Amino acid sequence: MKLIHYLSKRYIIYSACISIIAIPLFYLSLQYLLLGGLDEGMRQQKKWIETQLNTVPAKNFVSFENEITVTPSKQSLKSDVFSSEPIFVKSDNEIVMHRVMLSNVVIKGKNYTIRIQKSMIEDEDLLTNLLLLQSGFILILIIGLGLINVSISKKIWLPFNNIVKKMKGYRVDTSGKLDFMPTKIVEFKDLENSITELINRNNKLYKSQKEFTENASHELQTPIAIFSSKLELLMQTSPISEEQADYINEISLAGKRMQRINKTLLLLTKIENNQFPNIEKIVVKDALNDLIQQYHDTLQMREIHLETEFRDHVEVVANPILIDILLGNLLSNAIKYTEDKKHIQVELSKTFLRISNDAQEGVSGLRESDLFQRFKKQSNHSHSLGLGLEICNKIVSLYHFKITYSFENSKHYFTVFFE
């Protein structure tokens, strides 16, 4: 949920809660004031009636619809009693709510009960109209303030949205200095300054790492190449004893291994630094078929049966070199760790690529916690560097794919999810 929607939603909820409490309170308060006004008017009317009763007999008091009645009473003097009662009105042929006051008075030594009733229909209509008017005003106020809040928030958060947009498109290998939208808000200025400082530091670190990678690639490969060439010349000299030949062979193997480690580590560094910016649409099926064709002789020689099941046409947008490395490492691992005359299966669907192979005898599965970590070898294969799956993991992370491993029915399953 966006922040502006979050704030607007909370604003509307709180406003609605306040309105739900405020409207009934307004209604009750207004009703109390109106009833108080009616009661006060009836008290004044009662005083006038008491004054008139001193000169006019009670039977001479006649009022329209019996709104005022004066009757003899045997009760002693008590305080005034007010109540609201529904009374049928003949002229309107309906029941109308009335405010009624009962009061006992003593006139010339005689007790009388004065009953005064006032129709509340006008007050109720007024109260209803005021309530509807207030509810309408509150609703308009909430909607208006909500729209104003959204409009102001959009303008206020424009610089922040601009920062987010620029950061989404930022790439340390291609982007230069970022120009943010001018703003007068101190917090956004602080954020822009912090991001600018962070970007500058990242650019410096990236340049340093890139220079190191390039220097290491040049400086290390040269002595390794010299070492290998001199070793080959040494092997051609004579006489060489059998013991010396064994030592030279071991040194040669170590040199080749060192050369492979150097190239692999440099490749990992380049992937981490995103030094493969060129991307294009790659048909995964075609890339797999090319790799399978390259391993055709090895598969035939070892009598390994490789089955393919390409259910969907799948395209990925990535660097072709890295995709070849990813698919090549997974396929070569499956071939390397499959015994002769066993099976390998390659499945391709719209959402995933799965490569499975029969496990070697005595193997119950690989340690998943160490599987994609650097130099974590899970076999004693002499040519394994423990970096192949680490490279695969870096590539899938670069393109926001996902790679998983599972072991079922004596088979290893490596699955790359494209979504």
Tokens of 256: 């080749």
Q: Where are the alpha helices (DSSP H) in 54-174?
A: 121-156, 158-168
Chain-centroid distance of CA 375 in Å reads 36
What pLDDT was estimated at residue 309?
A: 92
pLDDT: which is higher, 315 or 153? 315
Q: pLDDT (tens digit, 9 = 90+) per residue, 355-408?
A: 999 887 766 767 665 566 554 554 544 444 456 788 888 888 888 899 988 888
Domain boundaries along the sequence of the chain: 3-153, 187-272, 280-417
Strand 352-358 with 411-417, pairing: antiparallel
**Planar angle of CA 138, 144, 150, nearest 5 degrees:** 135
pLDDT digits (tens, 9 = 90+) for 77-87: 567 888 888 87
Tell me the C-alpha distance between 145 and 340, whole Å: 76
Backbone dihedral angles phi then psi of residue 79, each to the nearest 5 degrees: -70, 165
Distances (CA, A) of 34 to 89, 119, 409: 22, 12, 85
pLDDT at 372: 61
SS3 414: strand
Whether 3-153 shares its CATH topology with 280-417 is answered no
- The larger pLDDT score, comparing residue 107 to residue 315, is at 315
pLDDT at residue 207, rounded to an integer:
78
Question: Poorest-confidence range of 1-15, 179-193, 393-407?
Answer: 1-15
Check whether the bond before 239 is cis (ω within 30° of 0): yes
Q: pTM for the whole thing? A: 0.49
Strands 81-89 vs 94-107: parallel, antiparallel or unpaired = antiparallel
CATH of the structural domain 187-272, one choice from 3.30.420, 1.20.58, 1.20.120, 1.10.10? 1.20.58
- Pairing between β-strand 343-348 and β-strand 305-310 as defined by DSSP bridges: parallel
Q: What is the mean pLDDT of the chain?
A: 79
- Third-level CATH fold of 3-153: Beta-Lactamase (3.30.450)
Q: What's the CATH code, domain 280-417? A: 3.30.565.10
Judge whether 354 and 413 are in contact, CB under 8 Å. Answer: yes
At 43-76, the pLDDT tens digits run 888 888 878 777 777 666 656 556 787 877 777 6
Helix %, strand %, coil % of the chain (to 5): 55, 20, 25
The better pLDDT of the pair 313, 220 is held by 313
